[in-house]
């Protein structure tokens, strides 16, 4: 499976994704699911992918090749006038890929893929979208400041509780690590290494970009520290008295 989160905070955007892909437990591979394009000083576009790997790879390739073919740059990721138009471009590409794969009338569910798209284009706000396999999309706002795709349930309660719009990038990274640790402990089809990226509002360049392996000292400290903190917090709650 997959677990990816895109989080909108006052200071910008934070992205995290796992790297495990599987077709059955006997067919596990490692693929990055975080893709980024930038035109420094002008725009940053980040895409996280979940779902059928052939579909997501085709979508990224199509988006990517278009950015590379100078003669066809009219509708590329680096030329869309707004994040809304960027989301529409990604959505249309998804629809196109799935339509090309699924014969007419065939159930396209198996080829489905879901995306988190975030970024900022000069002159507009940072924006964050969730793009469905049907190509339509919704945008994050103050009530729903984050999107998750893939195995979303295990890691959701802590985000709901600890997210604050005013948090720092460091706190947001900590929050996502806790969320990924809970998910990864509960579902073996979500696995390390993790990819982490910061985008600072109005910077128009990719911020920190880091791959976190299972031997990463900070991740291990969080993983162990969170387990201990949970057990400790649990012990300190009053016992049931009937």
Summarize as ranges the residues that interact with a copy of itself (CB under 8 A): 153-154, 156-158, 160-162, 168-171, 173-175, 177-178, 182, 185-186, 208, 210, 218, 221-222, 225-227, 229-234, 236-242
Beta-carbon contacts of 71 under 8 Å, excluding residues fewer than 6 positions away, are none
> 49 or 182, CB closer to a copy of itself?
182
Note whether 18 and 192 are within 8 A (CB): yes
> What's the Cα-to-Cα distance from 149 to each of 105, 188, 195, 229, rounded to whole Å?
27, 16, 15, 27
Q: How far is the CB of 176 from a copy of itself (least distance, A)?
A: 9
Consecutive H or E run containing 180: helix 169-186
> 104 or 160, CB closer to a copy of itself?
160
Q: How far is the CB of 139 from a copy of itself (least distance, A)?
A: 22
Q: How far is the CB of 240 from a copy of itself (least distance, A)?
A: 4
| First and final C-alpha spacing in the chain | 41
> 73 or 231, CB closer to a copy of itself?
231
> 111 or 169, CB closer to a copy of itself?
169
Q: How far is the CB of 86 from a copy of itself (least distance, A)?
A: 28
Q: How far is the CB of 113 from a copy of itself (least distance, A)?
A: 21
CA distance 228 to 24: 33
Q: How far is the CB of 118 from a copy of itself (least distance, A)?
A: 19
> 92 or 228, CB closer to a copy of itself?
228
> 104 or 237, CB closer to a copy of itself?
237
CA distance 147 to 141: 10
Beta-carbon contacts of 170 under 8 Å, excluding residues fewer than 6 positions away, are none
Consecutive H or E run containing 39: strand 34-39
Closest CA to 35 of 47, 23, 45, 49: 47
Q: How far is CA 218 from the centre of its chain?
A: 21
């Amino acid at each position: 499976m997959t677990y990816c989160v895109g989080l909108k905070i006052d200071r910008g955007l934070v992205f995290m994704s796992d790297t495990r892909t599987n077709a059955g437990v006997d067919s596990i591979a490692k693929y990055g699911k975080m893709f980024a394009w930038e035109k420094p000083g002008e725009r940053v576009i980040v895409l996280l992918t979940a779902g059928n790997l052939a579909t997501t790879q085709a979508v990224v390739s199509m988006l990517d090749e278009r950015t590379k073919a100078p003669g066809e740059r009219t509708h590329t990721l680096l030329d869309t006038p707004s994040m809304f138009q960027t989301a529409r471009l990604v959505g249309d590409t998804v629809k196109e890929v799935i339509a090309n794969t699924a014969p007419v009338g065939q159930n396209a569910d198996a080829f489905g893929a879901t995306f988190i798209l975030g970024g900022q284009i000069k002159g507009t706000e940072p924006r964050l979208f969730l793009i469905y396999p049907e190509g339509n999309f919704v945008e994050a706002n103050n009530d729903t400041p984050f999107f998750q795709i893939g195995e979303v349930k295990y890691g959701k309660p802590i985000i709901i509780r600890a997210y604050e719009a005013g948090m720092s990038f460091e706190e947001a990274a900590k929050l996502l690590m806790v969320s990924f640790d809970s998910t990864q402990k509960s579902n073996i089809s979500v696995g390390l290494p993790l990819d982490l990226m910061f985008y600072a509002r109005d910077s128009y360049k990719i911020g920190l970009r880091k791959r976190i392996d299972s031997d990463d000292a900070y991740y291990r400290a969080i993983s162990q520290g969170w387990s201990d903190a949970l057990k400790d917090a649990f012990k300190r709650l009053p016992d049931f008295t009937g």
